[in-house]
Amino acid sequence: MSFQNKNRFRPIFKQFLILRENVQNRQKLLSFKKNKWKSFLRFYNNKLKPFKKFKPLDQTKHYVNKYGTRGTSYTKRFRDTLAAGTRFRLFYGSMLRKGLKRRIKIATKSFKLSEFGFIQLFERQLDTVLYRAKFASSMRSARQLISHGNVFVNNEPIKSKTFSLRNGDIISLHLNCLNLFESHILSSTKWPMPPKHLIVNYKTLQIAYLGDVKSFNPVNDFSFNLKLQKILTYYSR
């Protein structure tokens, strides 16, 4: 008799279905044909239309329902907070809750905790830089390339997925995997462009990290509303 583990992790695609958001840009999701995916795929394909896909999202806005008392209950606000934290953790490589809490503690010790100052901790990670530079189709594929030893920082192999880059670091790739990286670049979306704190040479497939993450603008780099204030308030307890 086999016992099912009740504490196992929920499958990644079912989390996208609950959130109604393809957070990790998984193209495999578009090939699902079961009935439970039809409503979500209709909603997602409509969102991928050009006039909606490249619409910037102002992360500083506070969205209010046009009906004053709708959605203001404690249950609704708590559910929105949990959903915002799940989106954020899934986007940055399916991070665990305790990992996010640990990052917030580090942020509070190193500098004054702010919404966009907190994102700087994640945007200087090696896997995030590969994804922003279009060298990986998703954060998951970027982490897989790093764990296989195909990424070098200052000519030294790095296998730590959350390796924190410093000002002036040069990222290069393994020669045996150049075709793979080229295919990722060609199949990636042209918008948004790589952020200003990265200098990308697509001929030599190298990245120079300038370190000025403060110029990072999250308006064009997230397809969903971050709701950072709710995340910081809940996970900093």
CATH number at residue 165: 3.10.290.10
Q: Does 81 fall in a domain?
A: yes
pLDDT score for 1: 43
Q: Does 60 fall in a domain?
A: no
**CA–CA separation, 193 vs 109, rounded Å?**
32
Residue 137 belongs to what domain range?
74-213
pLDDT score for 228: 84
Q: Does 42 fall in a domain?
A: no
Hey, what are 10's tokens? Answer: 């929920």
Q: Does 96 fall in a domain?
A: yes
pLDDT score for 85: 92
Question: How many CB atoms lie under 10 A from the CB of residue 137?
Answer: 19
**CA–CA separation, 85 vs 116, rounded Å?**
15
Q: Does 220 fall in a domain?
A: no
Structural domain count of the chain:
1
Q: Does 155 fall in a domain?
A: yes
Q: Does 236 fall in a domain?
A: no
Q: Does 227 fall in a domain?
A: no
Residue 146 CB contacts under 8 Å (≥ 6 apart), including other chains: 126, 127, 130, 158, 159, 160, 161, 163
Residue 92 CB contacts under 8 Å (≥ 6 apart), including other chains: 122, 125, 128, 139
User: Would you write out the chain's pLDDT as a tens digit for each of its 237 residues?
Assistant: 444 554 445 688 888 988 988 888 787 888 898 898 999 999 888 887 766 666 677 776 766 666 666 667 788 888 889 999 999 999 888 888 888 888 888 777 765 666 667 788 888 899 999 988 888 888 888 888 999 999 999 999 999 888 989 999 999 998 888 888 888 777 776 666 788 889 999 888 899 998 766 666 666 678 788 888 888 888 887
pLDDT score for 68: 61
